[in-house]
Structure 1
Amino acid sequence: METFDVVVVGAGSAGAAVARRLADDAALRVLLLEAGGPDVNPDIHDPGGVFRLWGGPEDYDYRVAPQRRLGGRRPHWPRGKVLGGSSSLNGMIFVRGAPADYDAWGPGWSYPEVLPYFKRLEDFDRGPSDHHGVGGPVRVIADYAPHQVNAAIVAAAVEQGLPFNPDCNGERPDGAGFCQLTIRHGRRHSTADAYLRPRCDRPVLEIRTGARARRLLLRGRRCVGVEYRQNGRLHQVGAAAQVVVSAGTVESPRLLLLSGLGDAAELRRHGIKAVEDLPGVGRNLHDHALVPVIVAARRPVPPAMPGLQPMHSQLFWRSRPGLPGPDVQPLFFHIPLYDEGMTGPPDAFTLMAGIVRPESRGHLALTSADPDAPLHIDPAYLEA
């Protein structure tokens, strides 16, 4: 069996970074497996093409289970199936969250402990500071000319007495302002661009696309390799040191469950031998719900600005006193974001109410031992 030192599953926001950092150690041979293909679609690289990607070949295009609190609706979960993963599909908004979120995670994860890593990954256009770094692989821009309608909504928020925050990734995220964006020279700067392309010529790093992991190879309680499908054929590859599972919120637990790591009773129900009884796999699923309010404009909305996505103004706010950090993040779009079944005028804009500290907890589960079978994904929206 072919063997590498490390096998990384998933070339997305985490996997691309992990593979690159490992490949910087010339003593390690690293294999990076990505279920999707190369990021050749021009809409990936055009910041204005973000919504044209959803539902396309680079999107896993998940649908969640019917949501009781949403009238039985099944919201779409776009997730990247391409080099760069969801960083090749998302809105390019670079936001860390409130420092208090990290402080609550325990030793090793407090904000002062993780801040050096945030600074290390950044190439911030305003230069270095106590909260930002330069020279890192990920380009982050904050000084850009916003769309005039996005600028108007921030000005309106300040006029109503909300504080203006020039740096949501600084000491406090609270306030209205403009998003920091992972855009470089007018193009999306995904983790594939940031981490993989500068090292794609390194002989210690091999990238295989169209290679979907189907199960982990286990020897006792040790993971020693990965089985994956590529071009219709099954392959097995060994890992002398370790396997890194970084296939995302959905595909990582799927891979663990298919490998016999999960709730033993549920695994047996699908005919999967339980290697380790881990009921927590697929549990504690939560998602930040977004709800659009679309307003018709009284006059034509100016066209989109080249090299900029449409949602680049925001507010971080605490809905009640005593919260350790903001729990809502309204995002503003200078376009109407109509969902399925919705119609309206083309000259409109969207205020997207966002909940960033959801209390609802759901779960993810297999529906079959078939690796290609649909998953049961239930975020339990508004259940708490």
Structure 2
Amino acid sequence: MRQPTRLPEAPESEHYDYIVVGAGSAGCVLARALSDDSAQRVLLLEAGPDAETFWVRTPAGVPFLFHNAALNWRFATEPEPNLGGRAIYWPRGKVVGGTSAINGMIYIRGDRQDYDDWAAQGNPGWAYSDVLPYFRRSEKNELGASEWHGGDGPLKVSTGEYQRPISAAFILAANRIGIPENRDFNGAHFAGIGYCQHTIHGGVRQSASRAFLRPVRSRRNLVVRGGALVHRVVLEDGAATGVVYERDGQVMRASARREVILSAGAIGSPHLLMLSGVGPGDQLQAAGVPVALHLPGVGRNLQDHLCLNTVFEVHEGLSMNRALDGWRKYLHGARYLLNKGGPLSMGTSHVQAFVATHAQRSRPDVQLSFKPYSFTFESDEVLRVHPFPGMQVAGLQLRPASRGAISLRSADPARAPRIEANYLAAQEDRQTMIRALELIRRLAATSPLSDMVVREHLPGSGTDTPERMLEFIRSNSQSIYHPVGTCRMGQDEAAVVDERLRVRGIRNLRVADASIMPNLISGNTNAPTIMIAEKAADMIAADRP
């Protein structure tokens, strides 16, 4: 086996109290919270650049970030056996701010039952009543402070002002088939349909970097380093004592007097554990990594939301496709530069619905996401809007039963791990996705939305039996980019971290990001990841000797 070329390591270490690896949604929160104590020196390391470009700041810049190699890891799964052998693209943020700098900015916490389930699985302190204070602490919601929302947190959350008549028609059609309106998915009730809230303020994306780091960057006890690829965690006598990382062609060492915290996400955190010798022993040996601790759960339990995209042509004047393409986009660009308004100030989705589609269950099992525009995934550079006026409705199963894995491909830290999502392996996942497609079609056929629809573009005619619908789903569905679960929290032998997020069998090492989720939450994952980091910061402070 060819071993990667190794640069010589620096003989001396930099010294800190805490080292946080990964400056994404969780890492930015942790760096801010841990450095609140001026007596603690904190190092935050990020493989991507420490930058905020125009398209990162601009909410409608998502298409220009989707394949941007400078700011995006651009991962892909292995060929998926249940999706016709397709490798599914997984964009993840590679920049200070992480995926919060390139995502669709939707602020959803999920169903309260999600967190109660975590606690019931042997994770005390993670029930909804336990985590709600951390959601509130991080948030400054335009709805104001309440039982459900924070009013003075760092993360500004708002409802989009640039709404379209066709979005209102989508909500009315849902009401007519029995889906109630919900004006606050993060409040007293979860089910229903309504306008999205986004991490946008004043027409500017509120990434974790902008919200949490930017106000404290001048702290003398906080060091943020972009362009720093961590090779491994240094383990000595069963404890984490620091990290080895590469920056500007040099391999550096940094020591942590108290703890190392991995916040590199559901792909990066298990990858780093395995590169450090912590994981399934046979897999590590096969890759040429010395085994420090056989921990078989590392990389297992991978879950993600698989998304089917439907597209409908609508009557002229109802879609935003024209505004986002051709010469009109320059006019809207000028408007955005002038006052941060117009379509460039909006989030990717305008309306969300959380619906129970199973006759015997009242809990929502499907999420629908409505956009008053439509686009194709075919471009390798950017997402391109369709040449006709269109609307797009995405559907996904909220709590998939299928499980995949992240595994070590090589001992080279610059080489991506193997990703096997194992989508649609479970029969119930296939059936739920078919029900999601049937629900979307029912909505499109309901007034007043039906009065606006010209034709179904995707899937189109002929996809009219369960077998053909499943064939469409296998051939066309994409990730909605919510990977979790690969460093699962729990008490059993397959768990990677305990309820305090400490890596089992290794002292002074924690994981705090979406990888610790035992089960995927019912919705988008950015807000829950921020919550996890807020709670982790309190636990780290409480455990400090």
Do both share a fold (TM > 0.5)?
Answer: yes
> For 1:137, which of 154, 157, 171 is the aligned residue?
154
1:284 partnered with 2:296 = no
Matches within 5 A, 1:150-229: 150-229=167-246
1:365 partnered with 2:407 = yes
With 283-292 and 319-328 compared, the bigger mean Cα shift is at 319-328
Q: How big is each residue's C-alpha offset from its partner over 1:64-109, in whole Å with a ceiling of 9 and x where there is no partner?
A: 0111111011111010000110000110000000000000111200
Asked whether the equivalents of residues 180 and 193 of structure 2 are also in contact (C-alpha less than 8 Å), the reply is: yes
Aligned match of 2:31: 19
Aligned match of 2:351: 313
* Structure 1 residues 110 and 321, CA gap change in structure 2 (3 angstroms): farther
Distance in 2, Cα, partners of 1:324 & 1:91: 28
Shift of 1:337: 2.5
Aligned match of 2:88: 75
Percent sequence identity over aligned pairs: 40
Aligned match of 2:130: 113
* Structure 1 residues 75 and 143, CA gap change in structure 2 (3 angstroms): closer
Distance in 2, Cα, partners of 1:256 & 1:85: 19
With 337-346 and 352-361 compared, the bigger mean Cα shift is at 337-346
* Structure 1 residues 167 and 60, CA gap change in structure 2 (3 angstroms): same
Distance in 1, Cα, partners of 2:268 & 2:156: 27
Identify unmatched segments of 5+ residues in structure 2.
1-12, 325-342, 427-545
Distance in 2, Cα, partners of 1:365 & 1:78: 18
Secondary structure, aligned partner of 1:329: strand
Secondary structure, aligned partner of 2:344: coil
Shift of 1:345: 3.1
Amino acid at match of 2:347: Q
Shift of 1:374: 2.9
Q: How big is each residue's C-alpha offset from its partner over 1:210-257, in whole Å with a ceiling of 9 and x where there is no partner?
A: 001110001121000010110111101000010110011101111000
Amino acid at match of 1:66: P
Secondary structure, aligned partner of 1:326: coil
Distance in 1, Cα, partners of 2:188 & 2:235: 44
Distance in 2, Cα, partners of 1:166 & 1:159: 17
Aligned match of 2:247: 230
Q: How big is each residue's C-alpha offset from its partner over 1:232-288, in whole Å with a ceiling of 9 and x where there is no partner?
A: 111010000101100111011110000000001111111111101000000000101
> For 1:93, which of 103, 106, 130 is the aligned residue?
106
Aligned match of 1:62: 75
Asked whether the equivalents of residues 375 and 386 of structure 2 are also in contact (C-alpha less than 8 Å), the reply is: no
With 238-247 and 304-313 compared, the bigger mean Cα shift is at 304-313
Asked whether the equivalents of residues 296 and 345 of structure 1 are also in contact (C-alpha less than 8 Å), the reply is: no
Secondary structure, aligned partner of 2:197: coil
Asked whether the equivalents of residues 179 and 355 of structure 2 are also in contact (C-alpha less than 8 Å), the reply is: no
Secondary structure, aligned partner of 2:118: coil
Amino acid at match of 1:370: D
1:340 partnered with 2:378 = yes
Which has the higher relative contact order, 1 or 2, with Cα contacts under 8 A spaced 6 or more apart? Answer: 2
Asked whether the equivalents of residues 168 and 174 of structure 1 are also in contact (C-alpha less than 8 Å), the reply is: yes
Matches within 5 A, 1:44-55: 44-55=56-67
Distance in 1, Cα, partners of 2:178 & 2:138: 35
Asked whether the equivalents of residues 125 and 143 of structure 1 are also in contact (C-alpha less than 8 Å), the reply is: no
Distance in 2, Cα, partners of 1:370 & 1:97: 37
> For 2:396, which of 354, 358, 362 is the aligned residue?
354
Please identify which structure carries the higher helix content. Answer: 2
Secondary structure, aligned partner of 1:104: helix
**Runs of 4+ with >6 A deviation:** none
Shift of 1:324: 7.2
Aligned match of 2:485: none
Shift of 1:180: 1.0
- Specify the structure having the higher radius of gyration (Cα): 2
* Structure 1 residues 249 and 150, CA gap change in structure 2 (3 angstroms): same
Distance in 2, Cα, partners of 1:346 & 1:241: 58
Aligned match of 1:327: 365
Amino acid at match of 1:73: R
> For 1:10, which of 7, 13, 22 is the aligned residue?
22
Asked whether the equivalents of residues 100 and 324 of structure 1 are also in contact (C-alpha less than 8 Å), the reply is: no
* Structure 1 residues 163 and 127, CA gap change in structure 2 (3 angstroms): same
Alignment root-mean-square deviation, CA: 1.6
Shift of 1:40: 2.7
Asked whether the equivalents of residues 310 and 335 of structure 1 are also in contact (C-alpha less than 8 Å), the reply is: no
Asked whether the equivalents of residues 58 and 81 of structure 1 are also in contact (C-alpha less than 8 Å), the reply is: yes
Aligned match of 1:126: 143
- Give the alignment's TM-score, normalised by structure 1: 0.97
Distance in 1, Cα, partners of 2:233 & 2:399: 33
Shift of 1:321: 4.5
Distance in 1, Cα, partners of 2:280 & 2:348: 42
Provide the aligned length of Structure 1 versus Structure 2: 384
- Give the alignment's TM-score, normalised by structure 2: 0.69
Q: How big is each residue's C-alpha offset from its partner over 1:302-349, in whole Å with a ceiling of 9 and x where there is no partner?
A: 436231123121100112155474221110112212112799534211
